[in-house]
Structure 1
Amino acid sequence: MRDELVAGSVDSRLAARLGTLRTERGWSLEELSRRTGVSRSTLSRLERGELSPTTSALGLLCTAYGLTMSRLLMEVETEQPHLVPAARQPVWRDDRSGFARRSVSPPHTGLRAELIEGTLDAGAVVAYENAPVPGVEQHIWVLEGTVEITVDGAVHTVNEGDCLRFRLYGPSRFHCPGPARVRYALLIVLP
């Protein structure tokens, strides 16, 4: 229940922030739609808080705005503590794709790294068309299960205990082949 309350308040602040980012750039909904491939009506509903963004849509918006997803979600949080107790780590879910992300160590002013816990249901696929910030460094350590990660056209099967590290410049894809969900730690370091 607590995760649902936190998610609801994050969703409303996220909707407002998405609208602000667009207007700060002087973009119309049509222009943002052209830049992201997300329909004008969907963008409008996202900004009004009538619709929660999918992982894919949020990834496209982050790319257009030059932000990592974590940085965008951090911007809608009200504070940036040094100690982040487990109960205060925001969780964002995309039930349609079977993806959940816990911001274990959210972005913080003056720090370039952040730590995320991700989970993907068995069979789930999450794909990003571009790097939100070209050259962003990522380290993915699988805690439970297996995930197939495609970077630069190469598919890497990352099993429990394995770590995949790379700099991201283009598209990426995460697929949980199953039979169980995958849980992993993702360390993101801005260039």
Structure 2
Amino acid sequence: MTGTARSTLGSALRAIRKERRWSLAEASKHTGLAISTLSKIENGQRSLTYDKLIELAGSLQVDIARLFSGASDGSTASHALLGRRSVQRDGDGFTIEAGVYSYRYLAEDLINKRFSPIVMDLHARSVQAFDGLLRHAGEEFAFVIEGEVELHTELYAPLKLKAGESVYFDSNIGHAYLNAGDGPARILTIASSPIPNDNPLDLPVALPAQS
């Protein structure tokens, strides 16, 4: 992870904490994360996996995109849902190194997304490299871009996938992707994102016609 990516996550967390006038101890009470962990995140010494980022965003009651920007609420992040779009060029996106994975979050400038597209480079080659299987609300689709991948879950036998193959599953169950080949392994994952309000713009909802 580059220094810029590190400082962005840390700066975003620090900005939220300062806006709310929380000490690290107060932030720890709200998020459930240890003071030392929060300090390491703010100083770019600790990263979080996707499931932990979702938990952090939920505990702070912010959209996960806010964790990719040091800007304040109501800032440059795109709030409009109608007609919006986000274009990513090669190398664009917010990158987090989490040891077992390298995450590149796409369309990170948009909030209230229905799903989160992420390009992941897989480094772990055994489930022992994980601090427990990952899990988060929603469903997940993974497409293998490069290499060989082995998906471990709580319910099924390990599943091996090659470039061009894909899997769709319930991400509430514990899961982990492993690099199962000799070279690099890269996947595109699309994870559904819980949204606090299904009608965030308070748009009029069409009612069925009365007979």
Does TM, scored on the shorter chain, surpass 0.5?
yes
In the TM superposition, what are the counterparts of 1:151-166 in structure 2 within 5 Å?
151-154=153-156, 155-166=158-169
Aligned-partner SS, 1:66: helix
Greater share of strand: 1
Match of 2:181 in 1: 178
CA shift in 2, pair 1:157/1:55, >3 Å: farther
- Give 2:46's aligned residue: 53
Matching residue within 119, 122, 143 for 1:120: 122
Question: Which structure 2 segments of 5+ residues have no match?
Answer: 79-83, 195-211
When structure 1 is superposed on structure 2, of 153-162 and 106-115 the one drifting more is 106-115
The TM-score with structure 2 as length reference comes to 0.63
Structure 1: distance between partners of 2:48 and 2:111: 24
Name 1:71's counterpart in structure 2. Answer: 65
Instruction: Sort the Cα spacing of 1:109 and 1:98 in 2 relative to 1 into closer, same or farther, 3 A.
Output: closer
Match of 1:19 among 14, 20, 26: 14
- Report deviation, 1:146: 1.4
Query: How far apart, CA to CA, are the structure 2 residues paired with 1:83 and 1:103?
Result: 12
* Higher deviation after alignment, 113-122 or 181-190: 113-122
Distance 2:179 2:63 in 1: 20
Q: What residue number does 1:147 align with? A: 149
Query: Equivalents in 2 of 1:130, 1:32: separation in Å?
Result: 22
Q: CA contact under 8 A between 2:57 and 2:67: conserved in structure 1?
A: no
Segment drifting more, 180-189 vs 105-114: 105-114
Unaligned runs of 5+ in 1: none
Identity of aligned residues (%): 18
Asked if structure 1 preserves the Cα contact closer than 8 Å seen for 2:40 and 2:46, the reply is no
SS in 1 for 2:106: strand
Say whether the 8 Å CA contact 2:86–2:109 is kept in structure 1.
Answer: no
* One-letter code aligned to 2:170: R
Cα RMSD for the two superposed structures:
3.7
Structure with more helix by fraction = 1
Q: CA deviation at 1:122?
A: 6.6
State the Cα distance separating 1:91 from its structure 2 match: 4.2
Kindly indicate whether residue 92 of structure 2 is the aligned counterpart of residue 89 of structure 1. Answer: yes
Task: Compute the TM-score of the two structures, normalised by the length of structure 1.
Answer: 0.68
- Indicate the SS of the match to 1:173: strand
Deviation at 1:186, TM superposition (A): 0.8
| Whole-Å separation in 2 of the counterparts to 1:85 and 1:101 | 15
Rate the CA distance shift 1:168–1:99 in 2: closer, same or farther, 3 A: closer
Classify the secondary structure of the residue corresponding to 1:28. helix
Q: Partner letter of residue 45 of structure 2?
A: S
Q: What are the superposed Cα offsets for residues 13-60 of structure 1, whole Å, 9 maximum, x if unpaired?
A: 311322355675966355368x34xx432322322x2x332344x743
SS of equivalent residue, structure 1 residue 188: strand
CA contact (8 A) 1:151 1:172 kept: yes
Per-residue Cα deviation, 1:71-129 (whole angstroms, up to 9, x for no partner): 354444865583424156224242x7253222233362453123221112373755665
